[in-house]
Amino acid sequence: MKKLSDLLGRFFGGIDEGLKEASVSLIEKELEETENVFALLTMGFLSGIPSPPTGLVLRLLPYMQREIYVMMLRSKNLDDVFAETAGTFDID
Amino acid sequence: MKTYFFLGKGGVGKTTIAASFGVGISIEKRSVLVVSLDPAHNLGDAFNLPLSNKIKKISDNLSAVEVDIEKMIKEYLNELAYKMKNTYRYLTTFNLDRYFDILRHSPGIEEYAVLEAIKRFIRLKEFDTIVFDTPPTGITIRVFAMPKLSLLWTDRLIKMRRRILDRRKMVENVKGRFEAKIEEETVVLTSDEKEDDVMNELVRYRSEMEELRNFFSSEDTIVDVVTMPEELALFETKRISESLSEFKIKLRTIFLNKVIQCKKPPEGIKGKIKEQEEVLKKMGEEFRGTQIKEIPLLEHSPRGIEELKELYNNYLI
Amino acid sequence: MTALLAIIGGAIYIIGYMVYGKRLEKEVVKADPNRPTPAVKLRDNVDYMPANKFVLYGHHFASIAGAGPIVGPALAVVWGWLPSILWIWFGNLFIGSVHDYLALMASVRYDGKSVQWISGKLMTPKTKYAFELFVYFALLLVIAAFMNVFGGLAAADPKIATASILFIIVAMIEGYIMYRTKMSFSAASIIGVILLVLAIVLGFQFPFIKIANIKTWYVIQFVYVIIAASLPVWILLQPRDYLNAYILWFGLIIGAIAALIAFRGFTWPAFTVFSPNLISGQPSPFWPTVPLIIACGALSGFHSIVASGTSSKQLDNELSGLLVGYGGMFTEGFLSTIVVLSIAAFGMTVLKEAGGDMAKLASPALIGKYGAGQIGATVGKVGIFTHSFGKLVNVIGIPEKLGVTFGGLWVSAFVLTTLDTSNRLARFAWGEIWEPVKKTSEGFYKFIANKWVGSIIAAALGMLIVWGGTLGSLWPGFAGANQMLASIAMITAAVWVRNVQKAKKAWQYAVLIPALFLWITVTVALIWYLFVAVPAIKAATTKYPVAIFTIIMIILNFILIGDFFSAFRKGPKPEAEVK
């Protein structure tokens, strides 16, 4: 009996998790992109794009762990951005 | 507190004038600090005293200091590296040190350090007057520009940050608190403006910049230019004035230094004197709202407190 | 009959999964449960995150299922239900699901990189650029074809039009309560579903949006697309996408249940003629043109994008891939099966009740000749499904007309969502395509890559193409592009299987033969389309753009096969393997 309720728990838990994922997947993608851009803007000095005054950069950097992390990951996948974007928008 | 900024090209006598001015006001029973922000420190030479990074009391009302900008930059970067190493262990795999090298030489790092130095000194309560001998004009103008520029950037970043926090909140409403796993650490990513470190820093920085902007434009901040009666110097002074007005900073006085006053000029410098007169005339026309004080080319450059005092009394009042 | 065929269909898919699928897993993919997937190996909790395989299956299926698996088969019944169902079963089993599964697994082996990226590595870099170009054309054709689908539905039936518009409002409300309030997820979801039902019922009871002119609907959709695609995703697109999944599962489940207990005989002929008048009203030979009609239920290139774009990065274990990729496509095939079954059982009755000229439908041969026309003139090419579906679910007690409205909303919900996403993606692709111009004329690039310009151009081009077109002439254009994408993916998979996987000869052929068959079929189909169907298109604004796209696609297709043969002949090369 316990095994059954356990199984059901996992089954419905899985559905719940799946539904939650489905309800925010696009928003999460947008969030990542914005975090990425935030990091790129702040750390523009690395890639030669216009960046904020150095003072601002120095003050923000210690708190931008997450954003820098996302930026590093994103930059690894830059050669496949088109497919990734296409995959997010389900078209059929 | 009154603050004086002396701008000018190298060689015009900016440091001498600034030092002289400092000496002069200190006589009027004000507690004065003269600060040299110019990496090519000449302040000690002007006072004929050895100066250092520590404030040195010269007389009852007068102190002086030569700021070591390079050292400041190093300190800031080390502090940043320390703060970041604790939270960015994994970034060492990306060679964090390289990034600091880039930062060390990035445009704006000097301006940042100068601005921080200015902020530090104007907070000192024991002085009611600070006289700044500024770095080369280019840097100084950029320093004055910094608050406006920073505000533009900060506003933009605040807007973007709000959007990030807003979207995080949406995800939070569905999935609960947003926990990100970065390497082995679990970090809670907040959606609350008050809890977000980045937002707090942005807001803090913003108010600091606003304060500075108001400070630079205030009546108690007096910006003067030291220049020479030559055509190129005139053009530069014009440019400085235009830049300053962009940031709503008024140019109070132009100290026209090394004016050749010669009753019977020899042939060789007659041309120079003519140029001088033209410049003087143009200057009078172009800078109507600004006071112009002429200081003649002296036989020898003033050195030491007494000579600086004399210079002040004769020409700067 | 319905029950019988539903069971046979289900059985074929299940047996196919257990027998053929498992062999593919073992011999071709060589799935190793001990080899960490990118979701595990590269886990960053941003893009790479292992997901429970059932959750991923559900998500993947909802992503790949759209209006395609419904509209295609609904058009295909003109060949008779049997050929349609055979293609849906066996085309899916040997080509479509293989395509989806291999795209997924190849991507898994390449650290979650997309099939385009892989094709660039295994064949030539220009294959990758060709992919992007294809996708852009495909998107324009999607916009055009789908505008027609929704336009046709909305113009013909105010109930569907009203329900669809109400659904937009429902989605926006759902977006607000789910993302902006602290209401619990379950509560917000339940409210969403209730509002959804309300939208259907209200649309059904008070069909106040009565616009009968399809061209007006084109303009309305044009405006809708531009606005919707410019909104932040949380306002409309995300909640829509979410609620669509409920519609999908509900429709599929009640459709399946109804099919199983309906015990209805088929009044629709099993087989009409080999070349009924279908595409652009021209006699369309079953081979090679069936892929131009039944795309998604049997095979769809867009799936490879979803599979390798997102799903591969979330696969928890190599053994889960079969369920997600192969199983997901089977489920879509099953959905298409239900579509065909419902028309097979009720289509004739629907046509009779809708005032069709039964004299013209008296024999299979006549249906071949006049069927498409009759359908178009009475209930509409998608309407034949919605009305049949209404009758089907009536069997389990749902009022017929309500079922029709539900069926209509099912299609339109996915259509309107796809229009939104297609426009967004087209905007992105547009910017990428013009990238080379950046160096020569930055000002021009800035203008052309501006998001509004990109959005308006894509929507406008779509509207231009659809303006004078009919579904019979537009759908094959979209499907053709779709099948071409599948071709590229299938061929890349074939190269992968041979050069990298080094599967046994027999299994190499198991992938190669369908890939080549697909390529030949699609190429011949596109050439047929270009020379027979396109000239028959009356509207110049439809004819010429479609013709140009088709020509470009055919050329790209030949370049592709050239690249393929040289890659195939070169044989296994060490650099092709994953580092």
Q: Quick one: angle between helices C185-205 and C237-262, nearest 10? A: 70
Q: CA torsion angle for B43, B44, B46, B49 (degrees, to 10)?
A: 150
Per-residue tokens: A70: 């996302």
From the list B94, B103, B150, the residue facing A53 with the nearest CB is B150
pLDDT of C176 reads: 94
Greater confidence (C310 vs C239) lies with C239
pLDDT of C573 reads: 59
Quick one: tokens of C271?
């087989």
Position B94 scores a pLDDT of: 56
User: Is a pLDDT exceeding 70 seen at residue C125?
Assistant: yes
Nearest Cα neighbor of C141 from C33, C301, C261 is C301
Residues in chain C within 8 Å Cβ distance of A79: 117
Inter-chain touch C234–B167, beta carbons under 8 Å: yes
Using the Cβ of C185 and the Cβ atoms of chain B, whether some distance falls under 8 Å is answered with yes
Q: How far off is chain C from B166, nearest CA to CA, in Å?
A: 9
pLDDT of C579: 42
Q: What is the CATH number of the domain that holds C534?
A: 1.20.1730
Whether the per-residue pLDDT at B230 is higher than 80: the answer is yes
Residue A10 reports pLDDT greater than 80: no
- Contact: B80, A46; criterion CB under 8 Å: no
Cβ separation C180–B180 shorter than 8 A? no
Q: Could you tell me if residue A91 is inside a domain?
A: no
Report pLDDT digits (tens) over A23-39: 998 999 899 889 988 98
pLDDT above 70 as % of chain B? 94
What domains are there in chain B, each with its CATH number?
Answer: 2-316 (3.40.50.300)
d(CA C307, CA C323): 12
A55/B160 touch (CB, cutoff 8 Å), yes or no: no
- Decide if C182 touches B, using CB distance below 8 A: yes
For residue C567 the two structure tokens come to 């890659």
Q: Is 90 exceeded by the pLDDT of residue B182?
A: no
The reply to whether A89 falls in a domain is: no
Minimal Cα–Cα distance from B175 to chain A, Å?
7
Task: Pick the residue of B90, B166, B174, B179 with the most C CBs within 10 A to test the interface with C by mutation.
Answer: B174
CB contacts of A52 in chain B (<8 Å) are 150, 153-154, 157
Contact B180 C178 (CB under 8 A): no
C55·A17 Cβ contact <8 A: yes
Yes or no, beta carbons of C183 and B173 under 8 Å apart: yes
Tens of pLDDT, residue by residue over C40-96, are 988 877 788 898 888 899 889 988 998 999 999 999 999 999 999 999 999 999 999
Cα dihedral B181, B185, B191, B194 in deg (nearest 10): -170
Residue B71: both structure tokens together: 């050292």
Give the gap in angstroms from C-alpha C365 to the nearest C-alpha of chain A: 33
Chosen from B166, B173, B183 to mutate, greatest number of chain C CBs within 10 A = B173
Question: Of the candidates B176, A70, A17, which has an alpha carbon nearest to the alpha carbon of residue C314?
Answer: A17
Subunit contact A56:B150, Cβ cutoff 8 A: yes
Strand partners, B189: B178
Over range C450-474, report the average pLDDT: 89
The b-or-e profile of C35-47 (16+ CB within 10 A means b, else e) is eebbbeebbbebb
Cβ <8 Å between B174 and C180: no
- In this structure, what token pair is assigned to residue B148? 């406006």
The answer to whether B234 touches B15, Cβ cutoff 8 Å, is no
Chain C: give the shortest CA distance to residue B165, in Å: 12
From the number of C-beta atoms within 10 Å of its C-beta (0-12, 13-18, 19+), residue A73 rates as middle
Residue B109 touches partner A, C-beta closer than 8 Å? yes
A9: closest CA of chain C, how far (Å): 14
Instruction: Report the SS3 class of residue B181.
Output: strand
DSSP for residue C29: I
Contact C347, C388 (CB under 8 A): yes
Element (H, E) at C339: helix C328-353
* Interface with B, mutate which of A60, A65, A76 (most B CBs under 10 A): A65
Strand pairing category for B62-66 and B2-7: unpaired
> Alpha-carbon distance C168 to C190, whole Å?
17
Beta partners for B179? B188
Range of the domain at A32: 2-83
Tokens of B7: 């701008």
Number of neighbouring beta carbons within 10 Å of residue B78: 11
Number of domains chain A is built from: 1
pLDDT at C578 over 90: no
- Sign of the CA dihedral running C566, C570, C575, C577: positive
Quote the pLDDT of residue C462.
92
Give C183's contacts in chain B (Cβ within 8 Å). Answer: 173
CA distance B193 to A87: 32
Residue A24 falls inside a structural domain: yes
User: In A, what residues contact B, Cβ < 8 A?
Assistant: 20, 23-24, 27-28, 30-31, 34-35, 37-38, 41-42, 45-46, 52-69, 72
What are the tokens at C80?
Answer: 């008779």
User: If you count DSSP H runs as helices and E runs as strands, how many of each does chain A have, helices first?
Assistant: 4, 0
Q: How confident is the model at residue C128 (pLDDT cuts 50, 70, 90)?
A: confident
Q: In whole angstroms, what is the distance from residue B214 CA to residue B84 CA?
A: 32
Full residue range of the structural domain in which residue C453 is found: 2-576
- What are the residues facing B291 on neighbouring strands? B253
* Angle value at C-alpha C198, between C194 and C200, nearest 5 degrees: 120
Q: State the nearest Cα–Cα gap between C239 and chain A, in angstroms.
A: 7
Looking at C209-213, C526-530, C569-573, which range is the least confident one? C569-573
> A87 to each of A25, A80, C113, C124, C256, how far by Cα in Å?
12, 11, 11, 22, 29
Q: What are phi and psi of B296, to 5 degrees?
A: -75, 160
Comparing CA positions, the residue from C32, C42, C30 lying closest to residue C579 is: C42
Higher pLDDT, C43 or C240: C240
> Nearest 5°: CA angle at C126, between C121 and C128?
60
Per 3-state DSSP, what percentage of chain A is helix, strand, and coil (rounded to 5)?
85, 0, 15
- What is the tens place of the pLDDT at every residue in B136-163? 888 999 999 999 999 999 999 999 999 9
Q: Would the pLDDT of A57 be above 50? A: yes
Closest-CA residue of chain B to C189: B174
Provide the 3-class DSSP secondary structure of residue B298. coil
What's the average model confidence in pLDDT over C529-554? 89
The model scores a pTM over 0.90? no
Top pLDDT among C220 and A17 is at: C220
pLDDT of residue C440: 80
Shortest Cα distance, chain C CAs vs residue A76, angstroms:
11
Q: In what order do the strands lie in the sheet containing B221-227? A: B56-59, B62-66, B32-36, B129-133, B2-7, B221-227, B251-259, B291-296
| Contact at CB, C47 and A17, closer than 8 angstroms | no
| Residue C575 pLDDT exceeds 60 | no
ipTM of the complex: 0.85
Pair of tokens at residue B217: 């434009």
Which of B80, B102, B150 has its CB closest to that of A62?
A: B80
pLDDT average, residue stretch C82-111: 93
Q: C45–B180: do the CB atoms touch at under 8 Å?
A: yes
CB B12 within 8 A of CB B3: no
In this complex, is the C-beta atom of A45 within 8 Å of any C-beta atom belonging to chain C? no
Whether A92 maps to a domain, the answer reads: no
Which among A17, A27, A91 is the nearest to C233, CB-wise? Answer: A27
Flag whether residue C55 sits within 8 Å of chain B, measured between CB atoms.
no
| H/E segment holding residue B225 | strand B221-227
What value does the mean pLDDT take over residues B113-129?
91
CB contact under 8 A, B146 and A55: yes
With beta carbons under 8 A apart, name residues in chain B contacting A24: 170-171, 174-175
Contact A45 B197 (CB under 8 A): no
Query: Is residue B12 within 8 Å of residue B228, measured between CB atoms?
Result: yes
The CA-based angle C271-C389-C275, given to 5 degrees, is 25
